[in-house]
Amino acid sequence: MSTTALLVVAKAPVPGLAKTRLCPPATYAEAAHIAAASLLDTVDAVRRTPNVRPVVAMVGDLDAAACSTELRDALRGWTVLGQRGDGFPARLAAAHADTADAHPGLPIMQIGMDTPQVTPGLLAEACEALGTADAALGLAGDGGWWAAGFRSVAHARLLRGIPTSRADTGERTLAALHAAGLRVATLPILSDVDTMEDAWRVADLLPHSRFVASLPSRCDSAGAVDER
């Protein structure tokens, strides 16, 4: 099986800067710990995925982040890149370009830190799709996407022109890939964790994870008894 660069685009889980849409009911400190747990679970899934070169492109001050020591330990042996560019679409395209420079000739599969439910099997399936397709895209339930991969880094430049954080971001991305004449493999739809409602929905899939352990009780977050 061929090797793929598996790129995680992440934000350092700094209180007040990471996962602020969880607030309220979460505090900024709680939201940062939830973000850290989500990233750590994602890093663990990547580490257990066969035939990949793990890469992270991170923005923010990791020294000021929740669980900074644990995150640094978890990322030991990874290719660690900073993010660059004006606006998130430009940073995405730049992360692919910088990953290609670090790992020349490898296809690149990119994910975020918002889907802690990813498994090594699902990530391996996504990477394997690039063996026959020019690109692979995993749509998210909120209208965005959770994974985007390209066999050639030149095609990743398409991400620069697609606005993010919109209800039609995924649809626009898929349309742009098809308009470029690319053969696109579609991946399963996953839920991003943006709100506390999202967090509890994803938590039901991860009963023994860092992510679940990081969440406040449902009683605290919803004003009702936690019946799980």
Q: What is the CATH number of the domain that holds 145?
A: 3.90.550.10
Whether residue 62 lies inside any domain: the answer is: yes
Read off the pLDDT of residues 51-93 as tens digits, 9 standing for 90 and up: 999 999 999 999 999 999 999 999 999 999 999 999 999 999 9
Read off the pLDDT of residues 105-121 as tens digits, 9 standing for 90 and up: 999 999 999 999 999 99
Whether residue 227 lies inside any domain: the answer is: no
Structural domains in the chain (count):
1
pLDDT at site 2: 72
Whether residue 225 lies inside any domain: the answer is: no
Whether residue 219 lies inside any domain: the answer is: no
Whether residue 84 lies inside any domain: the answer is: yes
pLDDT at site 62: 95
| Cα–Cα distance measured from residue 53 to residue 37, given in angstroms and rounded to the nearest whole number | 22
Whether residue 221 lies inside any domain: the answer is: no
Would you say residue 219 has pLDDT above 80? Answer: no
Whether residue 12 lies inside any domain: the answer is: yes
Residues in the chain: 228
pLDDT at site 98: 98
Whether residue 224 lies inside any domain: the answer is: no
Read off the pLDDT of residues 147-180 as tens digits, 9 standing for 90 and up: 999 999 999 999 999 999 888 999 999 999 999 9
pTM (two decimals): 0.92
Would you say residue 4 has pLDDT above 90? Answer: yes
Q: DSSP labels for 145-211?
A: EEEEEESSHHHHGGGGGS--SSTTHHHHHHHHHHHTT--EEEEEEE----SHHHHHHHHTT-TTSHH
Give the residue numbers spanning the domain of 166.
4-212
Is there a contact between 85 and 91 (Cβ–Cβ < 8 Å)?
yes
